[in-house]
Amino acid sequence: MTRIQIFALLLCCSFGSTFTHAGEIQVDINFPGGSAKVESIDQEKRVVTLSPTPHQGKGFVCWWYARISGLQTGETLTLDVGNAPWATPDQAVFSHNNESWQQTKPGLRTGKRIRYEIKVPAAEIWVAWGAPFLLEHAQRTVDLAAKHSFVEAIELCQTRGGNSTPALVITEAPESPERIGIWIQARQHAWESGSSWVCNGFVKWIVSDAPAAQELRKKALITVVPIMDVDNVQIGAGGKNQKPQDHNRDWSDEPHWKAVATAQVAIRDQDQNGNFDLFVDLHNPAAGDKHPYYFIPPKDQFPPIGRRNLKTFLEKSKEQITGPLSFKGRAIESGPKYDRNAWMYISKNWVATHTQDHVVAVTLETAWNTPESTVPNYEQVGRELGLTISKYFEQDRRSQ
């Protein structure tokens, strides 16, 4: 063998150990929360075209979440996704390990579709509408918090689909007429994963050694439900406007969904004992909303003490929820003009009309379609919500 032949052989071996050919792209959704209807895969151009899996009667077709394999580290993968506006955030998310998520660069819109370009970090990646928060995340949140002696892990209910609904009861306050009652829940709409991350941030804060968290635990009993619509979360459905009705239009005298029915009983019991004071329902809003805001009950439903307390709570929110996802003071009434047929069956409205006059009941909507809409920033909103609540309860809110 000549020197030239030997050199050529060594060169081929060297290149063979450094570079690998791109494989055949495959898309998998066979896991909890998975959702993608693959419309086409262009193996040569490395383009995957998809839309969310349609689930008949299960609400908005907007959530997508898939594992993509057969990739080459460093190549550019293009995701073509539709339809706007609910399924097409300006920036989607991707992960190399299905745990740590980062945003894509802003996508390029064409009509009702959007294209995201991803520089692939591994041979297999996960892509999603937003950072997933599934039943396993909720259970992990509950289990970690329950390591503290002042936290009790509970099952709110078994869903109609046979899933557990994990929840927490947190308190260092002795049972007494003065004990404050607080209810925090997220994810009545399954696709709104950011709301559960806000909830997760609140839980991390309330069980922490932060002085304000410790003080709040000493005077309040706090119930937290990270996911209300577990069934739709697990199958990757949107949930909003589902049949027979949306979870957040189910707060009637005869609720269909077990999580709603159980929550109503617990809230009524606390209120009848004179120990209920605050209800916060966590959501994500429309695509064009760039800052967190509140939905509030119709003000004409409030007695004077309720109006006073709501005003104070909104003021404390503006002081404490400062961002990057910051509350600017926007509050929208959701009464008959908002939903003529079902406004009274919205959770916070039901709470406002079925509890004592001093109780504050609100929906916090945290923006999802911004560069700041990331897991750390969602969790910061949760911490800042905790500080808001702490500041709000520095004074007695039950006296006239």
Q: What DSSP string describes 33-48?
A: T-B-EEEEEETTTTEE
For the domain made up of 135-392, give the CATH fold.
Aminopeptidase (3.40.630)
Q: Which pair of tokens denotes residue 319?
A: 């002081």
Residue (of 389, 379, 219, 373) closest to 317 by Cα position: 389
Query: What is the pLDDT, as a whole number, of residue 21?
Result: 52
pLDDT of residue 302: 86
Distance in angstroms between the alpha carbons of the first and the last residue of the chain? 99
The pLDDT value given to residue 19:
32
Q: Return the half-sphere exposure (C-beta side, CA atoms, 13 A cut-off) of residue 151.
A: 20
- Tell me the pTM: 0.94
Burial (Cβ within 10 Å: 0-12, 13-18, ≥19) of residue 196: buried
d(CA 232, CA 239): 6
> 């000549």: which residue's tokens?
2
Residue pLDDT tens, the chain, 400 long: 544 444 344 433 333 322 335 689 999 999 999 999 999 999 999 999 999 999 999 999 999 999 999 999 999 999 999 999 999 999 999 999 999 999 999 999 999 999 999 999 999 999 999 999 999 999 999 999 999 999 999 999 999 999 999 999 999 999 999 999 999 999 999 999 999 999 999 999 999 999 999 999 999 999 999 999 999 999 999 999 999 999 999 999 999 999 999 999 999 999 999 999 999 999 999 999 999 999 999 988 889 999 999 999 999 999 999 999 999 999 999 999 999 999 999 999 999 999 999 999 999 999 999 999 999 999 999 999 999 999 999 999 999 7
Sheet with 93-95, strands from edge to edge, namely 26-28, 65-69, 125-128, 93-95, 102-103
Q: What is the full DSSP assignment across 181-198?
A: EEEEEE-SSTT-HHHHHH
Domain boundaries, the chain: 20-128, 135-392
What CA–CA distance (Å, rounded) separates 373 from 360? 27
pLDDT in the model for residue 16? 35
Pick the CATH number of 20-128 from 3.40.50.720, 2.60.40.3120, 3.30.70.2660, 1.10.10.10: 2.60.40.3120
Q: CA-to-CA distance for 180 and 87, rounded, in angstroms?
A: 40
135-392 has the same fold as 20-128? no
CA dist 143 and 248 (Å) reads: 27
Number of residues that make up the chain: 400
CB neighbour class for 40 (10 Å; exposed up to 12, middle 13-18, buried from 19): exposed
The rounded Cα 31 to chain-centroid distance in angstroms is 19
Q: For residues 384 and 371, is the Cβ–Cβ distance under 8 A?
A: no
- Token pair 């916070």 is found at 348
